[in-house]
Structure 1
Amino acid sequence: MGRYRETYERWKASPEAFWAEAAREIDWSKPWDRVLTLEGDLSRWFEGATCNTCWNALDRHVEGGRGEQLALIHDSAMTGKVKRFTYRELRDKVATFAGVLQRHGIGKGDRVILYMPMVPQAVVAMLACARLGAIHSVVFGGFAAKELATRIDDARPKLIVSASCGLEPGRAIAYKPLLDQAIELSEHKPEACIIVQRAELEAPLVPGRDFDWKDEMEKARAAGAAPACVPVAATDPLYVLYTSGTTGKPKGVVRDNGGHMVALKWSMKNVYGVDPGDVFWAASDVGWVVGHSYIVYGPLLHGCTTILFEGKPVGTPDAGTYWRVIADHGVKALFTAPTAFRAIKKEDPAAELVKKYDLSKFELLFLAGERGDPDTIQWAERALGVPVIDHWWQTESGWPMVANPMGLERLPVKYGSPTVAMPGYEIQVVDEAAKPVPANTTGAIVVKLPLPPGCLPTLWHNDEGFRNSYLADYPGYYKTADAGYLDEDGYLYVMSRTDDIINVAGHRLSTGGMEEVLAGHPDVAECAVIGVADALKGQVPVGFLVVNKGVNRPAEEIAKEAVALVRDKIGPVAAFKTALVVQRLPKTRSGKILRGTMRKIADGEAWSMPATIDDPVILEEIGEALSDAGYGRKG
């Protein structure tokens, strides 16, 4: 660990000097008075500085001679259309839409909710808010009306930007009725809504409240309304992003302007190994943190070409759609969730579709979002012949906490580990008394305070909630709510959420470790393990297996082999006796498996339909499978 170790130690020796040097990559209207200001356990980066995120993402590149380079490629597998925007074209569209917002009374500090599908207007609206110093809050398109309403009441937006519909394989999802219902349910009422009308399903507009995007853009153009970037404080919020599955008061993760830019710009080269001009693709959604950090802000701050993809890893039209996008647009690095690759592997286990495409420009694959199990990573390595890099971070951190820093130094891969802590993060594994545990001992993963630039400084209008959620349990540390261990080389292994550590007859066991074993079965495409209440042992593990396409063996046979594998690799202590073969696993739209809800069904507890679920019918299927095996209640 040469260059990585030297860089990490340099950060540790002088964090403020390290981040001050990284901040030279950003244009500032006014320099900072202090790099880091501590207010008790809250931290503020680059206090006293003023800046503008839109300027750094767009105008700076146009002024610096990069105006004719492609900034954004919108590739829709749903419509079969591709649109390309140079930095100059994107800057001009953003400036015009900022003019639209300004004409509707939007200015510095005002909130704007974006409830959008994966269309270029979503990126334009985000950057236009940043241009004016307004605070955007993107809510995943198609989110339930009740969930959207809680976010409207918490963010109190002056205006909402939405679209008539989103597109899924074989259907259009009407967004406008959901938006109308959410506004009806919310106590706070926005003054106006701007609606992108899509040809696939147009929506009726409410007179006096709703405005057509195209008409508004034409009016702003005719009036010459294209405001310049508004300087804001580095510590002012750029956006608020609500964490998925919120109950009660929503948790609005705040992202500042200054620290966010510094951290993302640093990460593009040092973590992801890409240079200005390279094509970078984060196959996520703008409604999630990955979409904010690595579809929109990170690549544009770094001067890359970024891809906005509307489609799925399978079924639009087949399991080769990712390879098609990489080949068509000369993608150098792809960042997606392991879930996507498990879906591709299930449909095309021998990776036959890869052979149809020229992937000669493709160099790096990054996985994050769910645990990168060794079997999926090794399958991707064989299929693509490029380094496959697991890395780990959260909505709250905004950028990678643990990674293999490809721009600094390619470290040896240890399967099952996202590698080592990045500068800014001192990662420790502790027990319930917040005391560090020995190497290779499972405990709670925490980050020593203060948090680095780019991390959430607090929750929206809720400092107390921030402290209670993240800082109270382990004084002096940020609680990640993930469990795992550090090995003797400082490699982190993230095994599960702390809720997924199960207690089997006094033995604390990780469901992630069992999933890793199950994923190694040649017929298993993906799997999940939950801890189910047991009168004798406290909890026992139950596994769920989805088999690869084309496997024609009896389900009972595969389940029996899977049970034997866990008993062989982990031992009888795991008490693993039940594996259920199911058609599919319930997931959020961002690809996270809903283990908590599955556990409640298995235990016969009351549960509610998660707002972020991709397909509610799957939970019925899981309930049936559990009921047939003697768990929970049928239906």
Structure 2
Amino acid sequence: MSQESPSPTAAEREAYDKAFEQSVSDRDGFWLEAARLIEWIQPPSSAVDVSNSPHNRWFPDGKLNTCYNAVDRHVDSGRGEQAAIIYDSPVTGTTQTITYNELLARVSRLAGALQADGVRKGDRVVIYMPMIPEAIVAILACARIGAVHSVVFGGFAAPELAIRVDDAKPAVILTADGGIEPSRQVPYVPIIVKALELSRHTPTTVVVHERAEFGGGALPSGDEARGAAWVRWADFVDGAEAAVPEELDSADPLYILYTSGTTGMPKGVVRDNGGHAVALAWSMWNVYGISAGDVWWSASDVGWVVGHSYIVYAPLLIGATTVLYEGKPVGTPDAGAFWRVIAEHGVRAMFTAPTAIRAIRRVDPKGEEIGKYDLSKFETLFSAGERLDPETQTWAMDKLGKPVIDNWWQTETGWPLASNLRGLSPMPIKLGSPTVAVPGSDLVVLDGEGNEVAPGVEGNLAVRLPLAPGNMIGLWNDDERFVSSYMATFEGFYATGDGGYIDSDGYVFVMGRTDDVINVAGHRLSTGSIEAAIGVHDSVAEVAVIGVKDELKGQLPVGYVVLKSGVVADPATLRDELAALVREHIGAVASFRETHIVQGLPKTRSGKILRKTMRQIADGQSPSVPSTIEDPDVLDALAPILRGEAE
């Protein structure tokens, strides 16, 4: 399979073409039919209100409860004894199956405890948890009472958590006493204490789920509690009455999920209830070929958008069984970890990041671990989070003997913009392409002036408004930034920030970011925030961080620092100190390890550092050097270092 693969036949395209055309030209007809997948308190009479574009409202007069649709209705339909969650934790040696009946009991009880603590519809709750069932219970409990949840990845350091606490202003933080890695434990309580010390906002309550591996211990009190009441999870829910689902408007916010911004300040992407539920329920069969009762596994984290959409909401909305995995693709215990989970639990399809596939390939290049397991029930491997490179895709398809499908989407979109729709209309795979635009997302390629370009011509990937249901409805408390960041570049379009092209078959090829947000193993990180952490060091005068290509993680941040006048530093010592600063301020997820001491950074006359030009040189491309460069000699001196030829 290659980019020259046969074009899809008319028969292969028929269902897709019909669905796509209706989804953008007859939104009421298409999306009201899709809305029948959801049980409404008040069914919507129209699909979308675009009168205040780009602040569009999906199913504007509809009323529903997302938690009811994800849990209660499966119990009400007589399927309460079906597995809702399979928790598989090789790092603790634990496997647990939670039925829909059991999930309903746990969710409604926590929801009742939150209400008893004063949490009401519209209040925010920050969830800072590892990959344990209580994380899903917490998310659904918030959805049940109309509280807006904001999940923060447990790997983020205290300063990053503090920023999110100040922006969301949660009434409650739900957490655990720590996360567990293959070789270490990560205590969460000290991170939260530090975050509350740094933040201006203080929640009323911090609820801590105790894990046996951490052995309990006293919770913060007095000055250490930072003004919040700290309580153990078991005590918090003890005696709580089960909460009933709140009636919510379709447009009411469901959650806030923060994504990196080029300024270093995260953007709080807001998802609604109705559009989100419809889009995700529609996607499970049409995009992924998964139905009620199937076992589905998304090997992501609940802190990321893939975890929100495809660990928690989408599989439960349709009554599938979702696998919650607390482990790694390799090392827990070996490179056969994924294949063991698939075989033991009868997984029909799974989602993972290209990074995970590359890690498995590095350890087991011949795919010998695959042969140890019965994968007869397994049908498809889906990938997202970053571009799936053709070499990795080919290896996985060859070793598995299954289709390996790339997806392209973003935190802002909530579900794929482009994919190979395995339920609706499977098409031939072209390596390097996530295939075609998903119905509802009218994808185009624009030049710098906003004009559509011909097939095969590279430009800016954009989506004609309105965005499909399930995409963001705005940024939390920041309408101006919502418009300026996404809608102002090209009038009438959402600018994805990615460059690429669409070929004559309609296949999308995503070539990379057009801004300074880098993608490290599927995690979008701002180079600005990494630079800010490095700039704290006493020896550093200036710094530029760029993302360079990496075989395993897609991109890695590399720092180029100019020392303060008169300062002499040992490169190895400085490298370690800067890595520690980034870990402290951003978290280990940044994977920052490489620093180069340089004499100067290339800039325009206005003082803008030419990061794009630096990145092009580092990636072996022909650089585009603007005419406004202040001193070309600085770039000439830096080029060998960027190429790895000299220090």
* TM-score class, shorter: 0.7 to 0.9
Alignment of 1:361-372 (within 5 A): 361-372=377-388
Alignment of 1:609 onto 2:582: yes
Contact 1:154/1:250 (CA < 8 Å) preserved in 2?
Answer: no
Alignment of 1:231 onto 2:244: no
Q: CA deviation at 1:437?
A: 1.2
What one-letter code is carried by the residue in structure 1 that aligns with 2:204? Answer: E
Structure-2 residue corresponding to 1:4: 16
Contact 1:333/1:365 (CA < 8 Å) preserved in 2?
Answer: yes
Structure-1 residue corresponding to 2:235: 215
Alignment of 1:69-468 (within 5 A): 69-201=82-214, 202-207=216-221, 209-220=229-240, 225-244=241-260, 247=263, 249-468=265-484
Contact 1:245/1:612 (CA < 8 Å) preserved in 2?
Answer: no
Structure-1 residue corresponding to 2:40: 28
| Separation in structure 2 between the aligned mates of residue 72 and residue 116 of structure 1, nearest angstrom | 17
Alignment of 1:630 onto 2:637: no
Q: CA deviation at 1:471?
A: 0.3
Query: Which whole-Å deviations, capped at 9, do the CAs of 1:53-102 have from their partners, x for residues lacking one?
Result: 00000000000111110000111010010011001110111011111111
Query: Which whole-Å deviations, capped at 9, do the CAs of 1:19-77 have from their partners, x for residues lacking one?
Result: 01100111111123532112032211111221100000000000011111000011101
From 60, 63, 72, the equivalent of 2:76 is 63
Query: Which whole-Å deviations, capped at 9, do the CAs of 1:590-628 have from their partners, x for residues lacking one?
Result: x6623xx32x5389999983855536675237889x999
Structure-2 residue corresponding to 1:515: none
| Separation in structure 1 between the aligned mates of residue 266 and residue 393 of structure 2, nearest angstrom | 34
Q: CA deviation at 1:250?
A: 2.8
Structure-1-length-normalised TM-score: 0.82
Structure-1 residue corresponding to 2:594: 620
Q: Secondary structure at the match of 2:105?
A: helix
Extract unaligned runs of 5+ from structure 1.
Answer: 502-510, 513-529, 531-540, 547-584, 586-590
Contact 1:35/1:45 (CA < 8 Å) preserved in 2?
Answer: yes
Query: Which whole-Å deviations, capped at 9, do the CAs of 1:157-216 have from their partners, x for residues lacking one?
Result: 000001111011111001100001111111110000100111222353134711101122
Q: CA deviation at 1:391?
A: 1.2
Q: 1:309 to 1:244 in 2, by over 3 A?
A: farther
What one-letter code is carried by the residue in structure 2 that aligns with 1:205? Answer: L
Contact 1:110/1:157 (CA < 8 Å) preserved in 2?
Answer: yes
Structure-2 residue corresponding to 1:538: none
Q: 1:485 to 1:199 in 2, by over 3 A?
A: same
Q: Secondary structure at the match of 2:212?
A: coil
| Separation in structure 2 between the aligned mates of residue 245 and residue 350 of structure 1, nearest angstrom | 40
Q: CA deviation at 1:248?
A: 5.0
Contact 1:78/1:168 (CA < 8 Å) preserved in 2?
Answer: yes
Q: Secondary structure at the match of 2:270?
A: strand
| Separation in structure 1 between the aligned mates of residue 29 and residue 170 of structure 2, nearest angstrom | 38
What one-letter code is carried by the residue in structure 2 that aligns with 1:210? Answer: W
Q: Secondary structure at the match of 1:67?
A: coil
Alignment of 1:593 onto 2:568: no
| Separation in structure 1 between the aligned mates of residue 595 and residue 393 of structure 2, nearest angstrom | 28
| Separation in structure 2 between the aligned mates of residue 347 and residue 628 of structure 1, nearest angstrom | 33
| Separation in structure 2 between the aligned mates of residue 160 and residue 101 of structure 1, nearest angstrom | 11
| Separation in structure 2 between the aligned mates of residue 95 and residue 465 of structure 1, nearest angstrom | 36
| Separation in structure 2 between the aligned mates of residue 479 and residue 381 of structure 1, nearest angstrom | 32
What one-letter code is carried by the residue in structure 1 that aligns with 2:237? Answer: M
Contact 2:178/2:186 (CA < 8 Å) preserved in 1?
Answer: yes
| Separation in structure 2 between the aligned mates of residue 166 and residue 623 of structure 1, nearest angstrom | 35
| Separation in structure 2 between the aligned mates of residue 170 and residue 622 of structure 1, nearest angstrom | 29
Please, which moves more after superposition, 52-61 or 374-383? 374-383
Contact 1:136/1:240 (CA < 8 Å) preserved in 2?
Answer: yes
Q: Secondary structure at the match of 1:65?
A: coil
Query: Which whole-Å deviations, capped at 9, do the CAs of 1:539-590 have from their partners, x for residues lacking one?
Result: xx997665xxxxxxxxxxxxxxxxxxxxxxxxxxxxxxxxxxxxxx6xxxxx
**What is the aligned-residue RMSD (CA, Å)?**
2.7
Give the percent of matched residue pairs that are identical in Structure 1 and Structure 2: 51
From 4, 14, 19, the equivalent of 2:31 is 19
Structure-2 residue corresponding to 1:496: 512
What one-letter code is carried by the residue in structure 2 that aligns with 1:127? Answer: L
Query: Which whole-Å deviations, capped at 9, do the CAs of 1:428-455 have from their partners, x for residues lacking one?
Result: 0111101011111110100000111100
| Separation in structure 1 between the aligned mates of residue 396 and residue 91 of structure 2, nearest angstrom | 25
Q: 1:544 to 1:168 in 2, by over 3 A?
A: same
Contact 2:287/2:421 (CA < 8 Å) preserved in 1?
Answer: yes
| Separation in structure 1 between the aligned mates of residue 250 and residue 309 of structure 2, nearest angstrom | 17
Q: Secondary structure at the match of 1:352?
A: coil
Contact 1:30/1:51 (CA < 8 Å) preserved in 2?
Answer: yes
Q: 1:500 to 1:244 in 2, by over 3 A?
A: closer
| Separation in structure 1 between the aligned mates of residue 26 and residue 163 of structure 2, nearest angstrom | 42
| Separation in structure 2 between the aligned mates of residue 617 and residue 24 of structure 1, nearest angstrom | 44
Q: CA deviation at 1:217?
A: 2.4
Q: 1:621 to 1:630 in 2, by over 3 A?
A: closer
What one-letter code is carried by the residue in structure 1 that aligns with 2:238? Answer: E
Q: Secondary structure at the match of 1:440?
A: coil
Q: 1:288 to 1:386 in 2, by over 3 A?
A: same
| Separation in structure 2 between the aligned mates of residue 47 and residue 35 of structure 1, nearest angstrom | 7
Q: 1:622 to 1:228 in 2, by over 3 A?
A: farther
| Separation in structure 2 between the aligned mates of residue 33 and residue 333 of structure 1, nearest angstrom | 35
Q: 1:80 to 1:246 in 2, by over 3 A?
A: farther
Structure-2-length-normalised TM-score: 0.80
What one-letter code is carried by the residue in structure 1 that aligns with 2:332? Answer: T
Query: Which whole-Å deviations, capped at 9, do the CAs of 1:242-264 have from their partners, x for residues lacking one?
Result: 01467454300000000000000
Contact 2:108/2:243 (CA < 8 Å) preserved in 1?
Answer: yes
Q: CA deviation at 1:144?
A: 0.7
| Separation in structure 2 between the aligned mates of residue 258 and residue 604 of structure 1, nearest angstrom | 53
| Separation in structure 1 between the aligned mates of residue 450 and residue 377 of structure 2, nearest angstrom | 46
Q: 1:215 to 1:23 in 2, by over 3 A?
A: same
Q: 1:326 to 1:454 in 2, by over 3 A?
A: same
| Separation in structure 2 between the aligned mates of residue 471 and residue 104 of structure 1, nearest angstrom | 39
Query: Which whole-Å deviations, capped at 9, do the CAs of 1:128-168 have from their partners, x for residues lacking one?
Result: 00000110000001311011011011000000001111011
Q: 1:542 to 1:69 in 2, by over 3 A?
A: closer
Query: Which whole-Å deviations, capped at 9, do the CAs of 1:348-391 have from their partners, x for residues lacking one?
Result: 00000111111111011101111111111111111111111111
* Length, aligned pairs only: 548
